[in-house]
Amino acid sequence: MTKQTARPVLYSFRRCPYAMRARMALLASGIDVELREVVLRDKPQSMIDASPKATVPVLILPDGNVIDESLEIMVWALAENDPEKWLEPESGTLEDMLALISQNDGPFKHHLDRYKYFNRYEDADPAEHRRDAEKILNRLDGRLAVGKYLFGTRPALADFAIAPFIRQFANTDTDAFDAMPFVHLQRWLDEFLNSRWFAAAMVKYDQWHEGDEPVIFKAA
């Protein structure tokens, strides 16, 4: 790349909720990146060399620095440019949002994995983990009963960082999710799924191979 055309390089996988939220933040920030779509069973060596933990997303900045945690990618991108004010919630603070996201990335993700992928975990009871996950969903539903979004009347970082995982939970058993009494959460998730950010982030791309022409991922 020349200096004039240098862009961050993003290794991503379309269906991964971590990669999904990173892509949405990059779109919202208006930062164009060179997208390299990964197939998880066939990870490119260049991604592994950049980030030995070999999980998506991985963002390589033009100066060679690597960011390989999705939330860090979100915060980095929005710190560069945040026209939608995702880092400035209408109610609460950035620290409050990060604390709620931590509950999602920790306890909720623990139960989600053992509900959705129970056969990967020895002695995991999917029904038990679903019930524990529902307790967390109940608290989110309560927040959404008093505000359209998690931190006020407009969406912010927490909404886009958490929603991909709620989507994953809902898709595990859509009938069961639709039958739950979480009407505010269901409305919020439906709005997320119909948002322009989700639509743009979920455009399909072919698997990247070394030597392919660059694919530029940017907001429409």
39 and 113 assigned to the same domain:
no
- Tell me the β-bridge partners of 10: 35, 59
Is the distance from CB of 145 to CB of 184 less than 8 angstroms?
A: yes
Alpha-carbon 192 to chain mean position: 12
- Tell me the β-bridge partners of 9: 34, 60
CA nearest neighbour of 135 among 161, 158, 163, 103: 103
CA nearest neighbour of 3 among 59, 61, 62: 62
Establish if 4 belongs to a structural domain. no
127 and 208 assigned to the same domain:
no
pLDDT of residue 29: 97
Establish if 145 belongs to a structural domain. yes
CA nearest neighbour of 116 among 130, 104, 128: 130
pLDDT of residue 38: 97
CATH number at residue 24: 3.40.30.10
Question: What pTM was computed for the model?
Answer: 0.95
Establish if 2 belongs to a structural domain. no
| Three-state secondary-structure class, residue 35 | strand
Establish if 1 belongs to a structural domain. no
Establish if 101 belongs to a structural domain. yes
191 and 119 assigned to the same domain:
yes
98 and 131 assigned to the same domain:
yes
* Structural domain of 169: 94-196
pLDDT of residue 86: 98
111 and 71 assigned to the same domain:
no
Establish if 157 belongs to a structural domain. yes
147 and 102 assigned to the same domain:
yes
34 and 61 assigned to the same domain:
yes
Q: What is the mean pLDDT of each run of 10 residues along the chain (220 residues)?
A: 70 98 98 97 97 97 98 98 98 98 98 97 97 98 96 98 98 97 98 97 97 91
pLDDT of residue 220: 66
Q: What is the distance between the alpha carbons of residues 70 and 83, in angstroms, rounded to a whole number?
A: 20
CA nearest neighbour of 139 among 156, 117, 115, 162: 162
138 and 73 assigned to the same domain:
no
Matching residue, tokens 């997320």: 192
Establish if 3 belongs to a structural domain. no
Establish if 182 belongs to a structural domain. yes
21 and 105 assigned to the same domain:
no
Domain count, the chain: 2
